[in-house]
């Protein structure tokens, strides 16, 4: 009867967000609370569906800590999370046959820029060499050498925008059971690709990145590889091993190596295409003034879901300066302004300084308007159907501008921030969407045009504008003219 230890630690950070995050951001589940993921589209939900279907599997749930995208995690908070998690794992590890660990891969903490590698290194010490550890990762994660040295297998998302959270858990759980029952020693081959990428070509349904991942799926479906994929890292997580990388897990080491080299060779020539194509803000406004609309201004640089603060007023300020006359709908995170509106009450006329309260690169703009609505900021994301908290929220109407002001960096990639506050984006001429990509079926489908705006911010798709200081160099596009000779490294510990 295989006993499987379950653990989960997931967050992604932007090193360029000046506001660090802490323990309070995390949702913590202990012991059997992890079972609340049953039926959900999460890695753990998928893994549980596999383990639950096996009559002879016994589960040992330990701890789950998941945080939304944010700035770097404070040192004390990381210690609190990792200490408790490792303590719980140590207490539960006796007699287990395998570990399933759900991760994201783009965490970063003060004093520990490879949190996942640290956890895996410590879990390996606890469980010993013979117990297989299989992890799940986001394709935006950063797999490090230390992580690879301590795991026996990995599965990674194959879709962007991500829809296969649970499927990744399903594949990981099946892989772990195979390793245990068939006493396998898979090889993990990886090829580091010195490139950071962004932009619409990464949308797996339509972009060239998707073509590569479909080839990877083919290898898996044909039974040649236990996992195959290409991780693109998170360009905003400035850590020493940030990169793109091809990863293949297979029983046949030569096959794994050859396949990983093949994926790296297919990826590299597309690095130019896989960059954000942005339009200058002033040019977009000038065009929008002469369009019927509605038009979308996608502000990827201030995408809270990628780890930005959400308090950029760059587009709002430029529209005001240009005296744009259409009806504008814009979300912003500004705790003092939301508090002021709450205090003033519905119907009150207030003047607030908007933006730049968190990320000081934005200079506040003065806006006078009427408080049209107040709420506690409860939302339900349209995409994932997950609840999200915007904190105290106010809708401020100032002439042709409707500004939804949040206290917390909720996610702004779908229509939930607007719909939950009685605003239908289709009623406006220009809608600001703070997201790495504009979801086609939510906005673009009915809009005249989506502009990918070149604005400053912690998660700009203009990777060269971010200011990396830690990641290994040379790295495309930070170093535009570099060459690349793919080299495969095999990880196989022959534990069994
Ligand atoms: Zn991701």
pLDDT in tens, 157-200: 999 999 999 999 999 999 999 999 999 999 999 999 999 999 99
CB 102 within 8 A of CB 10: yes
Q: Give pLDDT, residue 278.
A: 96
Computed over every residue of the chain, the mean pLDDT equals: 96
| Interval between CA 43 and ligand 1 midpoint (Å) | 13
| Interval between CA 164 and ligand 1 midpoint (Å) | 11
- Average pLDDT, integer, range 448-467: 96
Q: For 278, list phi and psi in degrees, rounded to 5.
A: -115, 150
DSSP category for residue 110: T
- Average pLDDT, integer, range 59-64: 98
| Interval between CA 140 and ligand 1 midpoint (Å) | 5
Q: CA–CA separation, 280 vs 462, rounded Å?
A: 12
| Interval between CA 339 and ligand 1 midpoint (Å) | 32
Give percent of the chain above pLDDT 90.
95
| Interval between CA 201 and ligand 1 midpoint (Å) | 15
Q: CA–CA separation, 90 vs 62, rounded Å?
A: 9
| pLDDT (tens digit per residue) in 325-339 | 999 999 999 999 999
| Interval between CA 346 and ligand 1 midpoint (Å) | 38
Judged against a pLDDT cut of 70, whether residue 275 lies above it is answered with yes
Q: Is residue 306 part of a domain?
A: yes
Judged against a pLDDT cut of 80, whether residue 495 lies above it is answered with no
The residues near 483 (Cβ < 8 Å, ≥ 6 apart) are none
The reply to whether 370 and 402 lie within a common domain is yes
| Interval between CA 245 and ligand 1 midpoint (Å) | 15
The reply to whether 59 and 105 lie within a common domain is yes
Return the beta strands (E) in 310-448 as ranges: 328-333, 349-354, 365-375, 378-380, 387-389, 393-398, 401-406, 430-433
Query: 493: pLDDT confidence band, cut at 50, 70 and 90?
Result: low
| Interval between CA 89 and ligand 1 midpoint (Å) | 26
Query: 399: pLDDT confidence band, cut at 50, 70 and 90?
Result: very high
Judged against a pLDDT cut of 70, whether residue 389 lies above it is answered with yes
Q: Is residue 440 part of a domain?
A: yes
- In a 13 Å sphere around the CA of 131, the CA atoms on its Cβ side amount to 21
The residue among 190, 304, 188, 165 whose CA lies nearest residue 241 is 190
| Interval between CA 121 and ligand 1 midpoint (Å) | 23
- Average pLDDT, integer, range 476-494: 93
| pLDDT (tens digit per residue) in 85-121 | 999 999 999 999 999 999 999 999 999 999 999 999 9
The reply to whether 76 and 141 lie within a common domain is yes
Alpha-carbon torsion angle 401, 402, 408, 414, nearest 10: -110
The reply to whether 251 and 303 lie within a common domain is no
Q: Is residue 341 part of a domain?
A: yes
Judged against a pLDDT cut of 70, whether residue 450 lies above it is answered with yes
| Interval between CA 247 and ligand 1 midpoint (Å) | 16
Judged against a pLDDT cut of 80, whether residue 383 lies above it is answered with no
CB 261 within 8 A of CB 247: no
The reply to whether 308 and 213 lie within a common domain is no
The reply to whether 266 and 294 lie within a common domain is no
Give whole-number Cα distances, 363 to 357, 369, 370, 461, in Å: 9, 19, 22, 21
Residues forming beta bridges with residue 394, ordered by sequence position: 374, 405
Structure tokens at 228: 């195959």
| Interval between CA 210 and ligand 1 midpoint (Å) | 14
- Average pLDDT, integer, range 35-49: 96
* CATH number for 138: 3.40.50.360
| Interval between CA 74 and ligand 1 midpoint (Å) | 22
Judged against a pLDDT cut of 70, whether residue 154 lies above it is answered with yes
| pLDDT (tens digit per residue) in 283-317 | 999 999 999 999 999 999 999 999 999 999 999 99
| Interval between CA 142 and ligand 1 midpoint (Å) | 11
Provide the domain count of the chain. Answer: 2
The reply to whether 82 and 228 lie within a common domain is yes
| Interval between CA 306 and ligand 1 midpoint (Å) | 8
Give percent of the chain above pLDDT 70.
99
CB 97 within 8 A of CB 60: no
Query: 439: pLDDT confidence band, cut at 50, 70 and 90?
Result: confident
Judged against a pLDDT cut of 70, whether residue 7 lies above it is answered with yes
| Interval between CA 196 and ligand 1 midpoint (Å) | 14
The reply to whether 227 and 329 lie within a common domain is no
| Interval between CA 139 and ligand 1 midpoint (Å) | 6
- Average pLDDT, integer, range 368-393: 92
The reply to whether 269 and 294 lie within a common domain is no
| Interval between CA 199 and ligand 1 midpoint (Å) | 13
| Interval between CA 411 and ligand 1 midpoint (Å) | 13
| Interval between CA 162 and ligand 1 midpoint (Å) | 7
CB 490 within 8 A of CB 189: yes
Q: Which residues of 414-441 are buried (b: 16+ CB within 10 A; e: fewer)?
A: bbbbbebbebebeebbbbbbbbbbbbee
| Interval between CA 258 and ligand 1 midpoint (Å) | 26
Give whole-number Cα distances, 44 to 38, 410, 478, in Å: 8, 23, 36
Q: Is residue 481 part of a domain?
A: no
Judged against a pLDDT cut of 90, whether residue 494 lies above it is answered with no
> What percent of the residues of the chain are helix, what percent strand, and what percent coil, each to the nearest 5?
30, 25, 45
| Interval between CA 205 and ligand 1 midpoint (Å) | 15
Judged against a pLDDT cut of 70, whether residue 496 lies above it is answered with no
| Interval between CA 213 and ligand 1 midpoint (Å) | 15
The reply to whether 212 and 296 lie within a common domain is no
- Average pLDDT, integer, range 249-255: 96
Q: Is residue 468 part of a domain?
A: no
Return the beta strands (E) in 31-131 as ranges: 58-66, 98-103
The reply to whether 305 and 266 lie within a common domain is no
The reply to whether 328 and 190 lie within a common domain is no
Could you list the residue range(s) of the whole structural domain that residue 70 is in? 3-273+486-491
| Interval between CA 55 and ligand 1 midpoint (Å) | 33
| Interval between CA 472 and ligand 1 midpoint (Å) | 21
| Interval between CA 204 and ligand 1 midpoint (Å) | 12
Assessment of whether the complete model's pTM goes beyond 0.85: yes
Q: Is residue 98 part of a domain?
A: yes
CB 291 within 8 A of CB 326: no
Q: Is residue 466 part of a domain?
A: no
433 SS3 class: strand
By residue count, the chain amounts to 496
CB 283 within 8 A of CB 318: no
| Interval between CA 161 and ligand 1 midpoint (Å) | 8
| Interval between CA 262 and ligand 1 midpoint (Å) | 23
| Interval between CA 252 and ligand 1 midpoint (Å) | 29
């Amino acid at each position: 009867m295989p006993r499987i230890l379950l653990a989960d630690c997931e967050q992604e950070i932007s090193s360029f967000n000046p506001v660090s995050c802490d323990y309070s951001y995390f949702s913590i589940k202990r012991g059997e609370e992890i079972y609340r993921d049953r039926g959900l589209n999460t890695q753990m939900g998928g893994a549980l569906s596999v383990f639950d279907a096996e009559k002879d599997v016994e589960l040992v749930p330990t701890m789950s800590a998941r945080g939304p995208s944010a700035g770097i995690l404070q040192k004390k908070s990381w210690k609190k999370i990792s200490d408790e998690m490792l303590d719980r794992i140590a207490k539960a590890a006796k007699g287990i046959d395998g570990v399933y660990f759900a991760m994201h891969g783009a965490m970063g903490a003060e004093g520990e820029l490879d949190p996942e590698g640290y956890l895996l290194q410590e879990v390996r010490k606890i469980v010993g060499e013979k117990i297989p550890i299989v992890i799940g990762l986001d394709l935006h994660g950063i797999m490090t050498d230390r992580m690879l040295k301590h795991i026996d297998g990995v599965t990674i998302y194959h879709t962007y925008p991500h829809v296969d959270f649970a499927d990744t858990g399903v594949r990981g759980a099946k892989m772990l059971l195979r390793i245990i029952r068939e006493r396998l020693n898979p090889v993990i081959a990886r090829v580091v690709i010195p490139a950071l990428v962004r932009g619409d070509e990464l949308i797996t349904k339509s972009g060239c990145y998707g073509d590569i991942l479909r080839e990877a799926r083919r290898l898996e479906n044909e039974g040649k590889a236990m996992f195959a994929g290409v991780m693109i890292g998170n360009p905003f997580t400035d850590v020493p091993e940030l990169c793109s990388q091809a990863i293949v897990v297979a029983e046949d080491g030569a096959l794994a190596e050859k396949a990983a080299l093949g994926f790296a060779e297919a990826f590299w020539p597309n690095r130019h295409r896989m960059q954000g194509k942005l339009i200058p803000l002033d040019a977009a406004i000038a065009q929008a003034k002469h369009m019927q609309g509605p038009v979308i201004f996608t502000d990827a640089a201030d995408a809270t879901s990628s780890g930005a603060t959400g308090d950029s007023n760059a587009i709002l300020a430029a529209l005001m300066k240009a005296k744009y006359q259409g009806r504008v709908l814009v979300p912003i995170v500004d705790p003092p302004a939301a508090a002021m509106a709450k205090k003033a009450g519905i119907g009150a006329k207030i003047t607030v300084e908007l933006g730049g309260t968190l990320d000081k690169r934005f200079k506040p703009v003065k806006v006078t308007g009427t408080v049209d609505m107040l709420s506690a900021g409860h939302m339900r994301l349209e995409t994932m159907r997950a609840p999200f908290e915007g904190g105290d929220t106010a809708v401020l109407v100032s002439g042709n501008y409707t500004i939804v002001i949040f206290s917390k960096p909720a996610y702004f990639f779908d229509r939930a921030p607007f719909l939950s506050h009685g605003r239908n984006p289709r009623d406006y001429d220009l809608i600001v969407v703070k997201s790495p990509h504009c979801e086609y079926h939510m906005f673009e489908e009915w809009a005249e045009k989506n502009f990918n705006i070149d604005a400053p911010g912690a998660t700009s798709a203009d990777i060269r504008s971010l200011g990396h200081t830690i990641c290994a160099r040379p790295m495309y596009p930070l170093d535009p003219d570099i060459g690349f000779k793919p080299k495969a490294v095999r990880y196989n510990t022959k534990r069994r």
